[in-house]
Amino acid sequence: MIAIIDYGMGNLRSVQKGFERMGREAVVTRDPRAILDAGKVVLPGVGAFPDCMRNLEEYGLIDAVQKSIASGKPFLGICLGLQLLFTESEEFGLSKGLDIIKGRVIRFKGAEFKDLKIPHMGWNSASIRRRPPAMADVPDNNYFYFVHSFHVVPEEKGVIATTTNYGIDFVSSVWKDNIFAVQFHPEKSQALGLSILKRFGEMKA
């Protein structure tokens, strides 16, 4: 069973449908026990970082996320679900994250972006630096769908799985132990995105 964490924000149904298309049962839940009992866990997310952290806390889900990751079961973060894993974000002032991966979440800013639209929205390629198991079927420099104004900056460069160029080369996914987390939306990225969900669904703890 794959548990998709429902904390009141995110494209939960589209992620669930993506897994179902790949023949994997997935349940949308905010029950901490169901999350802890699941074989795999997905943290999706769309919205503002501080609002999402507040909802995770209000629904009593932070402990379930931390224990799920510590257990070694496969864990997938999507979009804001990637950013929440980091130490802190500068969105709407400084907000504390889950601090599971050391680093910051910062806004796209600077001279490199003067002719670019923010948020970064649409299709862009991902250059593979380290190939996580969930990207086994993904050729290098293939395209995925992005919608975001902030990007992650990990302290430990060894966790970087892919980078993407938009004004700068930014980190578009990370892979650390049982955690694989992406800035793009695999559920909106057609066949290649669904292949990531398929491979994730096949992973074992």
State the DSSP string of 43-101. Answer: E---S-HHHHHHHHHHTT-HHHHHHHHHHT--EEEETHHHHTTEEEE-TTS-EE---SE
Cα–Cα distance, 50 to 147 (Å, whole number): 18
User: Phi/psi of residue 180, each to 5°?
Assistant: -130, 125
Q: Which residue in the list 79, 91, 148, 151 is annotated as catalytic?
A: 79
Sign of the torsion formed by the C-alpha atoms of 128, 131, 132 and 137: positive
Q: Which residue in the list 25, 148, 187, 202 is annotated as catalytic?
A: 187
The verdict on whether 79 is a catalytic residue reads: yes
Q: Evaluate whether 184 touches 144 at the Cβ level (below 8 Å).
A: yes
The verdict on whether 187 is a catalytic residue reads: yes
The verdict on whether 90 is a catalytic residue reads: no
Non-local CB neighbours of 18 within 8 Å, separated by 6+ positions: 186, 187, 193, 194, 197
**E strand or H helix that includes residue 127:** strand 120-128
Rg (CA), the chain: 16
So which residues are the catalytic ones? Answer: 79, 185, 187
